[in-house]
């Protein structure tokens, strides 16, 4: 019941806002639908805490510890982003960058995007997971090109083609999984792609086929995660689209893509009894961390800078999932949570900073602290949090990942530490003058929405200081599930 | 092939023709012809699905054939033709890289695909399991078509042909995917093409051309002017 509410709220929202999304009151409607989705997610969470896992609609949808916390996180960030987008898009409209018709497209697609992500998270059918992931790409392509500038058109095209090709690989991987399931189990028809069924019999699946399937699945969904060397679309799409979209792409879509990879990894690892999936994840993860750290130095656009930082963090998470084991998985899940909250908060602050300066180039953004202390502090604290300074939550998760790596994969430690240090220097060196430099910029026509920024940062701070026991239990249950225990 | 029943022979013929078509696409310069080849590919896919449905008696394959007919044989080629007319790119053709070299690369890819599919085919239980290699080859050849093209329209045709290859792969390996997934995939393809249609007009409005080289040029200018970051687009 709650699940129906959860999925129908954004779908209905897409429909309604697709019709009236250009009106003056559309941003409020957008917030209202996002709030309804969030409340549904909370109800669902309560229900799952009360009664345990759910398996509904002919087993096509399910809720277990791994996806329920991602559902809550997704709907929470969806809600705060809609709060942020309310003044942000009004300012864009006043600046003449978007028209009413484009706002209609924007609001409708925003809700549709939320719906596809929630379907991807809750579906039990690996085929539907693929369909929803592709749907998430399609619903955001036109959002990336919302401003119709040459650069945004290129970004949108690259996004579409790279993710389209990537996700086609994932479809082939899914076909192979289906093939393996039919072959080994003789399960007929629709149930052969259900994750719960496959997970029950993963030991009997044909290892050769599953190994091959995993390569395709990892390359496919990995493209969406933004793993190097398939990350080319990510900085462009983040930098050229409207900022609320950068926030949800970075904070949510990447998480959902990682979720898809992890679901597949659980199956393949169970069938393979070898370290191949782990090694591949660790390799891709480390490569992304290193490459992103190098590219961070060359950035001059604030959104591109933080887009590369997202690639770096996705690399860290992928590496942690690659190490496997309950502790590393726990840390990776925690890192997914805190990264998504912190990164979207940073994008909120960066979006307003860029609006104030009238430019996304970091050389043009100066002296935020005198101009608008809240935006300045938001950006500064957010950057410190994402760089892994204590007492923020990112520190806790990175610390856990590093200590686990020291025990299990000591060779990776120097690489990780070096990359983290490089990233620290690059980002801090850029953010500091933006916040504390001299300035002469003008005021904004609408007051910026900074509640989301500080709400996110407060949660991240809280998670760094103290993880409530039920949340920790929840992470542990999910970590055990991923570790296949 | 004496002991092989006639319907299976026809199926194998379809598979072989699909492979041949992929090579034809690889060498085709004119965009209109590319779209026609895509429609032909859809028609072959339809024949293969119908033959397989008749052979195995599985009802959902008929539904799937109907979907192929509606979407891949009729609607998509019609839409693409319409787009070509509206965008006035009917006579467009594009310079290709060295065709013999592309063909040789294609041959290498086919050999690779057959090698990769060998262990899977050996495990299969379907009558068409030997076509898995062909399906993979079609996917990879479409991929080559995509990366050697500079026009937006030809890249899209490559993309759709890749999807056809995947569809054929699903069919030969497992007699198709579950119905709900097949509908979902079809919906995605449909939406993708509609989104691209909108997209073409946006690109056209901005650059007066569908040549993607304009995009790359702008990116480099932007990078030089301060966009920073990578300039290598589309590699994989």
Res B231: pLDDT: 33
Mean predicted confidence (pLDDT) in A21-34 = 87
**Of residues A130, A151, A193, nearest to B219 (C-beta):** A151
Neighbours of A411 (CB within 10 A): 8
The verdict on residue A351 lying in a domain is yes
Gap between the Cα atoms of B102 and B23, Å rounded: 9
- Structure tokens that stand for A413 in this block: 């430690």
DSSP annotation of A95 reads T
Q: Which residue of B152, B164, B173 is the best one to mutate when testing the A interface, meaning the one whose CB has the most A CBs within 10 A?
A: B173
Contacts of A296 by beta carbon, 8 Å cutoff, 6+ apart: A305, A308, A309, A312, A422, A423, A426, A427
| ipTM, two decimals | 0.84
Q: What is the mean pLDDT of chain B?
A: 80
Q: What residue spans of A95-149 are helical by DSSP H?
A: 100-122, 126-144
Distance from CA of A153 to the nearest CA of B (A): 7
- Which region among A66-75, A309-318, A392-401, B213-222 has the lowest average model confidence (pLDDT)? B213-222
- Structure tokens that stand for B225 in this block: 């002017």
Gap between the Cα atoms of A378 and A375, Å rounded: 5
Contact residues, chain B, for A232 at CB < 8 Å = 230, 232-235
Gap between the Cα atoms of B56 and B158, Å rounded: 31
Contact residues, chain A, for B202 at CB < 8 Å = 145, 148, 153
Distance from CA of B214 to the nearest CA of A (A): 9
Q: State which residue of chain B sits closest to A153, comparing Cα positions.
A: B203
Decide: helix, strand or coil at residue A314.
helix
Q: Is the pLDDT of residue B230 over 60?
A: no
Gap between the Cα atoms of B214 and B236, Å rounded: 20
Q: Do A232 and B155 touch (CB under 8 A)?
A: no
Model confidence band, residue B217 (pLDDT cutoffs 50, 70, 90): low
Query: Which residues of chain A from 435 to 464 reach within 8 Å of chain B, CB to CB?
Result: none
pLDDT tens string A415-471:
999 999 999 999 998 888 888 877 666 666 667 777 888 888 888 888 888 888 888
Contact residues, chain A, for B191 at CB < 8 Å = 135, 138
Contact assessment for residue B183 and residue B67, using Cβ atoms and an 8 Å cutoff: yes
Contact residues, chain B, for A135 at CB < 8 Å = 188, 191
Model confidence band, residue B31 (pLDDT cutoffs 50, 70, 90): confident
**Of residues A151, A162, A212, nearest to B227 (C-beta):** A151
Angle between helices A126-144 and A100-122 (to 10 degrees): 160
Model confidence band, residue B232 (pLDDT cutoffs 50, 70, 90): very low
Gap between the Cα atoms of A215 and A161, Å rounded: 20
Q: Do A298 and B143 touch (CB under 8 A)?
A: no
Model confidence band, residue B111 (pLDDT cutoffs 50, 70, 90): very high
Gap between the Cα atoms of A324 and A310, Å rounded: 21
Q: Do A300 and B228 touch (CB under 8 A)?
A: yes
- Structure tokens that stand for B100 in this block: 């013999």
Question: Is the bond preceding residue A397 a cis peptide, omega within 30 degrees?
Answer: no
Contact assessment for residue A401 and residue A282, using Cβ atoms and an 8 Å cutoff: no
Contact residues, chain A, for B187 at CB < 8 Å = 131
Q: Is the pLDDT of residue A90 over 90?
A: no
Distance from CA of B7 to the nearest CA of A (A): 23
Q: Do A157 and B152 touch (CB under 8 A)?
A: yes
Question: What is the sign of the dihedral through the CA atoms of B172, B178, B181 and B185?
Answer: positive
A403 is in which domain, residue-wise? 297-485
Contact assessment for residue A269 and residue A277, using Cβ atoms and an 8 Å cutoff: yes
Gap between the Cα atoms of A252 and A78, Å rounded: 8
Contact assessment for residue A378 and residue A450, using Cβ atoms and an 8 Å cutoff: yes
Q: Do A179 and B236 touch (CB under 8 A)?
A: no
The verdict on residue A48 lying in a domain is no
Q: Is the pLDDT of residue B229 over 50?
A: no
State how far the alpha carbon of A63 is from the alpha carbons of A8, A45, A47, in Å: 16, 9, 10
- Residue A156 at interface with chain B, using a CB cutoff of 8 Å: yes
Res B235: pLDDT: 33
Res A321: pLDDT: 93
Contact assessment for residue A375 and residue A353, using Cβ atoms and an 8 Å cutoff: yes
Contact residues, chain B, for A239 at CB < 8 Å = 227
Among A267, A182, A266, A283, which residue's Cα sits nearest to residue A227?
A283
State how many domains chain A has.
Answer: 1
- Which region among A129-143, A195-209, A324-338, B8-22 has the lowest average model confidence (pLDDT)? A195-209
Q: Is the pLDDT of residue B227 over 70?
A: no
Q: State which residue of chain B sits closest to A154, comparing Cα positions.
A: B215
Contact assessment for residue B79 and residue B42, using Cβ atoms and an 8 Å cutoff: no
Res A445: pLDDT: 63
Q: Is the pLDDT of residue A240 over 80?
A: yes
Distance from CA of B14 to the nearest CA of A (A): 20
Model confidence band, residue A404 (pLDDT cutoffs 50, 70, 90): very high
Gap between the Cα atoms of A108 and A15, Å rounded: 7
Q: State which residue of chain B sits closest to A307, comparing Cα positions.
A: B229
% residues pLDDT > 90 (chain B): 14
Contact assessment for residue A67 and residue A481, using Cβ atoms and an 8 Å cutoff: no
Res B225: pLDDT: 40
% residues pLDDT > 90 (chain A): 38
Distance from CA of B5 to the nearest CA of A (A): 24
Q: Is the pLDDT of residue A145 over 90?
A: no
Res B127: pLDDT: 67
Query: Which residues of chain A from 386 to 415 reach within 8 Å of chain B, CB to CB?
Result: none
Contacts of B79 by beta carbon, 8 Å cutoff, 6+ apart: B193, B197
Model confidence band, residue B221 (pLDDT cutoffs 50, 70, 90): very low
Gap between the Cα atoms of A429 and A298, Å rounded: 12
Q: Do A127 and B178 touch (CB under 8 A)?
A: yes
Distance from CA of B219 to the nearest CA of A (A): 6
The verdict on residue A362 lying in a domain is yes
State how far the alpha carbon of A386 is from the alpha carbons of A315, A319, A343, A461, in Å: 14, 17, 7, 11
Res A444: pLDDT: 63
Q: What is the mean pLDDT of chain A?
A: 87
Triad B32, B35, B38: Cα angle to 5°: 155
- Residue A57 at interface with chain B, using a CB cutoff of 8 Å: no
Q: Do B120 and A212 touch (CB under 8 A)?
A: yes
Q: What residue spans of A243-372 are helical by DSSP H?
A: 243-248, 254-272, 276-296, 302-323, 325-357, 368-371
């Amino acid at each position: 019941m709650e699940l129906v509410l959860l999925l129908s709220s954004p779908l209905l929202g897409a429909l309604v806002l697709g019709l009236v999304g250009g009106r003056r009151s559309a941003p409020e409607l957008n917030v209202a639908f996002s709030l309804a989705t969030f409340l549904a997610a909370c109800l669902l969470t309560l229900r799952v805490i009360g009664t345990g896992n759910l398996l509904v609609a002919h087993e096509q949808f399910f809720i277990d510890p791994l996806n329920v916390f991602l559902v809550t996180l997704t709907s929470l960030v969806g809600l705060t982003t809609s709060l942020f987008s309310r003044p942000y898009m009004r300012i864009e409209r006043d600046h003449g960058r978007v028209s009413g018709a484009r706002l209609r497209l924007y609001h409708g697609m925003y809700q549709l995007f939320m719906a596809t992500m929630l379907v991807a998270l809750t579906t039990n059918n690996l085929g539907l997971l693929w369909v929803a992931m592709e749907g998430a790409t399609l619903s955001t392509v036109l959002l990336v090109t919302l401003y119709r500038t040459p650069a945004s058109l290129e970004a949108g095209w690259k996004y579409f083609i790279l993710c389209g090709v990537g996700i086609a690989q994932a479809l082939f991987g899914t076909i192979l999984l289906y093939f393996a399931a039919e072959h080994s189990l003789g399960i007929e028809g629709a149930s052969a792609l259900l994750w719960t069924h496959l997970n029950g019999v993963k030991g009997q699946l044909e290892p050769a086929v599953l190994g091959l399937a995993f390569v395709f699945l990892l390359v496919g969904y990995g493209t969406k995660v933004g793993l190097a060397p398939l990350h080319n679309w990510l900085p462009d799409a983040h930098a050229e689209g409207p900022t609320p979209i950068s926030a949800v792409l970075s904070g949510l879509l990447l998480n959902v893509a990682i979720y898809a990879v992890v679901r597949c990894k659980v199956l393949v690892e169970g069938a393979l009894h070898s370290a191949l999936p782990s090694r591949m994840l660790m390799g891709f993860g480390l490569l992304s961390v290193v490459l992103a750290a190098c590219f961070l130095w060359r950035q001059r656009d604030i959104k591109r800078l933080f887009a590369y930082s997202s690639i770096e963090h996705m690399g860290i998470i992928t590496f942690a999932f690659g190490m496997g084991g309950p502790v590393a998985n726990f840390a990776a899940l925690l890192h997914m949570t805190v990264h998504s909250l912190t990164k979207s908060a940073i994008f909120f602050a960066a979006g307003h900073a860029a609006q104030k300066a009238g430019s996304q180039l970091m050389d043009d953004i100066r002296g935020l602290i005198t101009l608008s202390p809240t935006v300045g502090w938001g950006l500064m604290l957010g950057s410190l949090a994402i760089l892994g300074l204590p007492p923020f939550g990112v520190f806790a998760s990175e610390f856990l990942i590093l200590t686990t790596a020291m025990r299990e994969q000591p060779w990776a430690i120097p690489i990780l530490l070096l990359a983290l240090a490089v990233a620290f220097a690059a980002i801090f060196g850029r953010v500091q003058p933006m916040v504390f430099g001299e300035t002469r910029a003008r005021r904004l026509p609408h007051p910026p929405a900074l509640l989301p920024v500080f709400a996110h940062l407060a949660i991240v701070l809280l998670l760094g200081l103290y993880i409530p026991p039920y949340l920790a239990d929840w992470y542990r249950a999910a970590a055990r599930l991923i570790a296949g225990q | 092939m004496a002991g092989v029943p006639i319907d299976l022979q026809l199926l194998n013929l379809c598979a072989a023709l699909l492979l041949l078509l992929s090579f034809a696409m690889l060498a085709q310069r004119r965009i209109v012809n590319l779209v026609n080849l895509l429609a032909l590919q859809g028609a072959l896919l339809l024949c293969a699905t119908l033959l397989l449905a008749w052979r195995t008696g599985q009802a959902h394959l008929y539904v799937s054939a109907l979907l192929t007919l509606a979407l891949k044989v009729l609607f998509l080629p019609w839409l693409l033709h319409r787009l070509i007319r509206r965008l006035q790119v009917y006579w467009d053709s594009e310079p290709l890289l060295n065709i013999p070299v592309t063909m040789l690369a294609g041959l290498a890819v086919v050999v690779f695909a057959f090698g990769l599919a060998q262990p899977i085919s050996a495990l299969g239980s379907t009558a068409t399991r030997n076509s898995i290699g062909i399906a993979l080859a079609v996917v990879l050849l479409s991929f080559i078509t995509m990366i050697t093209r500079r026009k937006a329209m030809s890249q899209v045709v490559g993309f759709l042909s890749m999807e056809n290859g995947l569809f054929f792969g699903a069919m030969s390996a497992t007699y198709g995917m579950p119905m709900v997934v097949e509908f979902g995939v079809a919906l995605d393809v449909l939406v993708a093409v509609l989104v691209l249609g909108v997209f073409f007009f946006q690109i056209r409005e901005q650059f007066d051309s569908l040549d993607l080289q304009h995009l790359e040029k702008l990116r480099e200018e932007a990078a030089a002017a301060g966009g920073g970051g990578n300039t290598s687009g589309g590699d994989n």
